[in-house]
Each structure stands twice: as structure tokens, then as C-alpha cells.
């Protein structure tokens, strides 16, 4: 076996040597998740003793939420380790794949920012998933698991991340690790890395809100006190949607890189979030035509009555109406603009939260990523940890905005039981 100089501290080493088939690691910033993941991938590569199929070569995968992130975190260290090693046969820098002699598996990088298409169909003997709290919820069951197809039944995985609240899919994944006898869950704080400078942690403790510090450095599964949709719970998700609706609307959130679309059904004074879409690859801008194409898909699939678009881009509504005329799609012909700021952001969020309290908004449980976004949506905090009456920046809230432009408008301006239900 080739020798590589990869240094690990004691707690990293205890994870690496665990015999569990799936290792789930939740740790604070600076503990060393990324180095450990890379070491686990290399260990799986160099110790694999199964057969090598030239038509479907087995593969060791390191994946991150985006390919760009996977490259930034792992590609240069891997090149430094393997470029001059005699065991290395070829390095494909365009596809980010390393090939080896002696019938060893390939070593590749990928992201899920393309919906996981780069991963589907691979023959994986190891999957290392970096920052799993940022992955689409379907990744493990629908993308990774089907790729474990070695004839001997061999596979390993390491899933690493930092908490994103108790209602996130990563929290549910860590619970799965606690329940499965072949899996093992590891939990470490930043201080468990003996080389992590204590002064950095103390500086973070002084400058970050307490809940954020506990989450980021102590790997605590926090429930934020500033949660915006605190009335939302599991009872607001449904397995089965009604067969028909009085009205079906589409809400739009504009943006070149982060547009979003939601489909809202209305029946018996209830709102149902039926479906949604957002840019599957936020690193690549989406054209207006692509957004309209997705809206058309939803219109035809769900027999939508009307599209509602915020008034900061009236040209978009005009484009919808023109497309509706050429394609003979009534929902596009009926497209209207709605005020982006009336009611205001916090007021409209309050309306939706009260509707959750009244059990009048229900979400299809197929939309797990959206459910995660609803659960984690929170207010900003100042440096002392005081909750501010505004939305915290940097959240995944574009789909939330797309139906926030619609539902409060109906609640404040329309008679739900007559005009819209009869549309």
C-alpha cells in the first residue's frame, strides 16, 4: 500500500479507524472535518481489495454542496499528495478525476448544485459528503445510495457537517445514524482539536450571538429564539393533496441567480404549497426565458389559474402575458403584478405565521428542502445576541418569498370564499 503523510489529531483518528460503514460527523468550526474527510477517502482508495470493472470502474467520491466548493476545499491538497506518486496514472484537471495503477478506484470530486446529475450512475465504494447540512435533503436516498453497487456489497461513507437547527434534514440524518447499528454518530466541538487556537474561539464567543456561537463552535443543535415561522410544525405537512382546488396560483421571486417559483392551491379557505422550483445551480445565472419555461411547465401540470409577480420587474409580467398569448396559456394571460412592499416584509411574514397558527397553510411533504427553509427561517441578531425585527441575511428564502408575495395579498385584498374560489 502506498504511504502518504497525512497527520490527524486523536479525535480525528478515532473516527477514521471506526469500523462503522457510515460515519456521521457533526463538529464545530476548526475541528478538522475537511482534513478527516479527505483522509477517509484516501484510506478507502488505497485499501480497496475488490474487483475493478473497466466498463464501470469503481470510484471514491468527495462531494460538496457545489463543485466549486469541492474544488476549493480538496483539489489542491489532493494534487499535492498524488501528483508525484508512482501509483498515480493520470490526473484529469478538467473533470477533477485522479486515475491510479494497480486497478485501484478512481478518485473524483463533484457537487450537488446540478441536482446531483454528476453523481448519478457512478459505481461508488466510498462517498464523502462535505457540509451535509447544505445538501438537498434527497441526496442520500435518491442519489448516493443507488450508487453503492459493488458486487461484493462493499461500501463506506463519511458524512460531515455543522448543525443547522433541530428541524433540518441533517438533524434527522444524525438521528438515523443513532438508530442504525451499522452507522455511528460522532460529535465534537472546536475545542476538541488540540491545535485549534483558543484565542480564536474566545474572540468568536465575544463577537457572535450566543446561539450562533453554540451552533458554529460547539456543534449544538440550536432552536433559534428568533424563528420567524415559529407556528409551523409537522402537522402542517401533508402526504396527500386534494384532488382539485378552487384556485391554483403561481408566485414568483425575481433574480438572475436565485429566482424561485411556488405553486399555491386554495381550497376550503386553506392554502396548499403544492410544488416549488428554484435555480438548481445558483452559481450560474438563469435567464428570464428559463424561468418562464418552468412557470409554463407548472401551469400545464397543475392547471394554474393565474401568475402573480412582484412589481419591481413589470417587464416580467408583460413577458408572461405575451407568452401566454402565443402559447394560449390562460394563467399567463392573467398574469398580474403585486406590491412587493405592501404589506411590508415583516408584516407579510406575520400574516403567514398566523395562518400556520390557524392551520390554514399546508405544505406537501415532498418539498423537504422547503420545509427545512421554513423551519430555519429566522430574524437577525446584533452582536450582543439581541433579536432584531428584520430578516437575517444569507438565508435560503427565495421560495419563501415567492409565496409570501401571494398569500398575504389574498388575505388582505380578496374575499377568499367568493371571487378567487370561483376563478
Is 177 within a domain?
yes
Over residues 195-206, mean pLDDT:
89
Asked if 181 and 310 sit in the same domain, the reply is no
pLDDT in tens, 368-422: 889 989 988 888 877 666 677 889 887 889 999 999 999 999 988 754 433 333 3
Q: Is the pLDDT of residue 7 over 90?
A: no
Range 253-290 burial, b when 16+ CB lie within 10 A, else e: bbbeebbbbbbbbbbeebbbbbbbbbbebbeeebeeee
pLDDT in the model for residue 422: 34
Asked if 265 and 207 sit in the same domain, the reply is no
pLDDT in the model for residue 416: 41
Asked if 353 and 385 sit in the same domain, the reply is yes
Is 2 within a domain?
no
Asked if 182 and 295 sit in the same domain, the reply is no
Q: Is the pLDDT of residue 179 over 60?
A: yes
pLDDT in the model for residue 165: 74
Final residue in a domain of this structure, among 218, 253, 269: 218
Asked if 198 and 281 sit in the same domain, the reply is no
pLDDT in the model for residue 255: 75
Is 412 within a domain?
yes
Q: Is the pLDDT of residue 22 over 60?
A: yes
pLDDT in the model for residue 4: 60
How many domains is the chain built from? 2
Asked if 209 and 263 sit in the same domain, the reply is no
Over residues 68-90, mean pLDDT:
94
Asked if 213 and 76 sit in the same domain, the reply is yes
Asked if 74 and 191 sit in the same domain, the reply is yes
pLDDT in the model for residue 167: 66
pLDDT in tens, 322-361: 999 999 999 999 999 998 888 889 989 989 998 998 999 9
Asked if 173 and 286 sit in the same domain, the reply is no
pLDDT in the model for residue 418: 36
pLDDT in the model for residue 417: 36
Q: What angle do CA 79, 83, 88 make, to 5 degrees?
A: 115
Cell for 325? 398569448
pLDDT in tens, 90-115: 999 999 999 999 889 999 999 998 87
Q: Is the pLDDT of residue 72 over 70?
A: yes
Query: CA-to-CA distance for 183 and 131, rounded, in angstroms?
Result: 18
Is 126 within a domain?
yes
CATH number assigned to the domain comprising residue 28? 3.40.50.300
More confident residue, 6 or 237: 237
Q: Is the pLDDT of residue 5 over 80?
A: no
Over residues 72-87, mean pLDDT:
94
- Report the range of poorest mean pLDDT among 45-49, 68-72, 111-115, 294-298: 111-115
pLDDT in the model for residue 77: 94
Is 78 within a domain?
yes
Asked if 258 and 358 sit in the same domain, the reply is yes
Final residue in a domain of this structure, among 218, 248, 282: 218
Is 224 within a domain?
no
Is 223 within a domain?
no
165: left (phi over 0), alpha (psi -120 to 50) or beta: left
Terminal-to-terminal C-alpha distance of the chain: 70
pLDDT in the model for residue 224: 64
The residues facing 144 across adjacent strands are none
Query: CA-to-CA distance for 396 and 376, rounded, in angstroms?
Result: 9
Cell for 288? 428570464
- Report the range of poorest mean pLDDT among 3-12, 75-84, 332-341: 3-12
pLDDT in tens, 203-262: 888 877 677 788 889 999 877 668 899 889 899 999 999 999 999 999 999 876 789 999
pLDDT in tens, 258-311: 899 999 999 999 999 999 999 887 778 888 999 999 999 999 999 999 999 999
Final residue in a domain of this structure, among 184, 218, 252: 218
More confident residue, 137 or 323: 323
Asked if 213 and 283 sit in the same domain, the reply is no
Asked if 246 and 191 sit in the same domain, the reply is no
Is 139 within a domain?
yes
pLDDT in the model for residue 386: 66
Q: Are the C-beta atoms of 45 and 107 separated by less than 8 Å?
A: yes
- Strands (DSSP E) found in 229-376: 237-238, 247-253, 260-267, 270-278, 306-310, 336-338, 361-364
Q: Is the pLDDT of residue 154 over 50?
A: yes
Query: CA-to-CA distance for 230 and 423, rounded, in angstroms?
Result: 32
More confident residue, 14 or 7: 14
Q: Is the pLDDT of residue 153 over 90?
A: no
| Structural domain that includes position 80 | 10-218
Whether residue 343 is preceded by a cis peptide bond, meaning omega within 30 degrees of 0, is yes
CATH number assigned to the domain comprising residue 248? 3.30.420.280
Amino acid at each position: 500500500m502506498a504511504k502518504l503523510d497525512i497527520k490527524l489529531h486523536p479525535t480525528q483518528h478515532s473516527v477514521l479507524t471506526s469500523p462503522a460503514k457510515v460515519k456521521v460527523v457533526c463538529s464545530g468550526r476548526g475541528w478538522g472535518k475537511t482534513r478527516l474527510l479527505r483522509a477517509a477517502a484516501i484510506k478507502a482508495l488505497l485499501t480497496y481489495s475488490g474487483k475493478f470493472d473497466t466498463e464501470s470502474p469503481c470510484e471514491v467520491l468527495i462531494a460538496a454542496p457545489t463543485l466549486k466548493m469541492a474544488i476549493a476545499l480538496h483539489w489542491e491538497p489532493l494534487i499535492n499528495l498524488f501528483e508525484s506518486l508512482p501509483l498515480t496514472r493520470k490526473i484529469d484537471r478538467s473533470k477533477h478525476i485522479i486515475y491510479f495503477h494497480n486497478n485501484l478506484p478512481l478518485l473524483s470530486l463533484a457537487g450537488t448544485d446540478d441536482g446531483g446529475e454528476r453523481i448519478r450512475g457512478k459505481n461508488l465504494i466510498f462517498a464523502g459528503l462535505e457540509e451535509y447540512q447544505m445538501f438537498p435533503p434527497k441526496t442520500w436516498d435518491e442519489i448516493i445510495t443507488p450508487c453503492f453497487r459493488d458486487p461484493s456489497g462493499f461500501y463506506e461513507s463519511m458524512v460531515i457537517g455543522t448543525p443547522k437547527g433541530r428541524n433540518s434534514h441533517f438533524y434527522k440524518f444524525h438521528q438515523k445514524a443513532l438508530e442504525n447499528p451499522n452507522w455511528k454518530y460522532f460529535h465534537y466541538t472546536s475545542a476538541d482539536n488540540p491545535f485549534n487556537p483558543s484565542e480564536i474561539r474566545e474572540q468568536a464567543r465575544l463577537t457572535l450571538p450566543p446561539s450562533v456561537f453554540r451552533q458554529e463552535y460547539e456543534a449544538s443543535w440550536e432552536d433559534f429564539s428568533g424563528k420567524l415561522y415559529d407556528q409551523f410544525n409537522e402537522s402542517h405537512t401533508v402526504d396527500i393533496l386534494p384532488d382539485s382546488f378552487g384556485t391554483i396560483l403561481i408566485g414568483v421571486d425575481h433574480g438572475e441567480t436565485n429566482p424561485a417559483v411556488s405553486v399555491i392551491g386554495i381550497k376550503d379557505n386553506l392554502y396548499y404549497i403544492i410544488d416549488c422550483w428554484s435555480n438548481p445551480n445558483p452559481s450560474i445565472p438563469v435567464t428570464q426565458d428559463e424561468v418562464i419555461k418552468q412557470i409554463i411547465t407548472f401551469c400545464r401540470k397543475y392547471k394554474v389559474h393565474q401568475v402573480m409577480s412582484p412589481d419591481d420587474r413589470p417587464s416580467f409580467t408583460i413577458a408572461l402575458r405575451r407568452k401566454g398569448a402565443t402559447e394560449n396559456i390562460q394563467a399567463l394571460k392573467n398574469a398580474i403584478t403585486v406590491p412587493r412592499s405592501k404589506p411590508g416584509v415583516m408584516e407579510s411574514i406575520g400574516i403567514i405565521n398566523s395562518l400556520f397558527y390557524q392551520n390554514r397553510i399546508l405544505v406537501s411533504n415532498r418539498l423537504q428542502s422547503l420545509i427545512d427553509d421554513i423551519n430555519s427561517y429566522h430574524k437577525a441578531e446584533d452582536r450582543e445576541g439581541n433579536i432584531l425585527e428584520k430578516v437575517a441575511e444569507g438565508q435560503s428564502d427565495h421560495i419563501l418569498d415567492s409565496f409570501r408575495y401571494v398569500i398575504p395579498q389574498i388575505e388582505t385584498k380578496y374575499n377568499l370564499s367568493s371571487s378567487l374560489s370561483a376563478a
